[in-house]
């Protein structure tokens, strides 16, 4: 370390002069702290709830796609049966034979399937999926907030640890400013800030969707 105090009164002490290695070490420590935050009981529980809510939403959307597919197939089959039934009636009438009504019964059964599929789709699109989407957004927001709190707690612990380690130097110089924003604690606080901002955004989206759902009702 080379400096002239009269020209550079503000100094920085770093673990290494290699900027690349310093950045790599910082990233590794931040990643370790993030993993620690995610493993915190409250954050872990919130993350599991968020994953469950997202999985439920995906399941309902899969059901919606499947019902659309089934209904489309049923309508195609109904058209085919309808044409075959009319041809059969025409042929029977031409021969003076008794009409075969089994195809008409098949058509009625398929019409019932289409009607029930339509009701299920209506329930999915009008109620189940919107409510699941709202719940998923709220759970994700809660998870991000829980992780943000865990990150802030770890940042606070690291800051207190660092300050404890430099007390000897403070005794010599009386006052020793410490900029935590450039270290691991600062990086964790920035990450927590971003997560909290995202949580607020998701909660706002959930509020808007819920209000829209209530207005429709």
Per-residue pLDDT of the chain (217 residues), as tens digits, is: 565 555 666 656 655 565 677 678 888 989 999 999 999 999 999 999 999 999 999 999 999 999 999 999 988 888 877 777 777 777 777 777 676 656 667 778 888 888 999 999 999 999 999 999 999 999 999 999 999 999 999 999 988 888 777 776 666 666 666 777 778 888 999 999 999 999 999 999 999 999 999 998 8
Tally the domains of the chain. Answer: 1
* Structural domain includes residue 137: yes
Q: Is residue 155 part of a domain?
A: yes
pTM value is 0.78
Residue 15 maps to a domain: no
pLDDT of residue 5: 52
> 88: exposed, middle or buried (C-beta count within 10 Å: 0-12, 13-18, 19+)?
middle
**Would you say residue 166 lies in a domain?**
yes
For residue 160, what are the domain limits?
A: 38-216
């Amino acid at each position: 370390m080379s400096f002239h105090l009269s020209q550079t009164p503000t100094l920085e002490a770093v673990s290494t002069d290699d900027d690349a290695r310093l950045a790599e070490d910082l990233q590794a420590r931040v990643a370790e702290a993030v993993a620690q935050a995610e493993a915190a009981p409250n954050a872990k529980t919130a993350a599991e709830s968020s994953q469950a809510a997202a999985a439920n939403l995906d399941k309902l959307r899969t059901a919606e796609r499947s019902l659309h597919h089934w209904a489309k197939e049923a309508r195609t089959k109904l058209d085919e049966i309808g044409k075959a039934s009319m041809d059969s009636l025409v042929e029977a009438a031409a021969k003076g034979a008794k009409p075969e009504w089994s195809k008409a019964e098949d058509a009625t059964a398929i019409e019932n399937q289409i009607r029930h599929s339509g009701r299920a789709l209506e329930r999915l699109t009008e109620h189940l999926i919107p409510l699941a989407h709202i719940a998923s957004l709220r759970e994700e927001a809660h998870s991000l907030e829980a992780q943000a709190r865990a990150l802030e707690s770890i940042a606070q612990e690291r800051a207190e640890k660092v300050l404890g380690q430099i007390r000897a130097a403070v005794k010599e110089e009386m006052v020793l400013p410490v900029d935590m924003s450039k270290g691991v604690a600062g990086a964790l606080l920035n990450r927590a800030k971003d997560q909290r901002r995202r949580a607020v955004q998701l909660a706002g989206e959930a509020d808007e969707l819920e209000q829209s759902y209530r207005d429709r009702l």
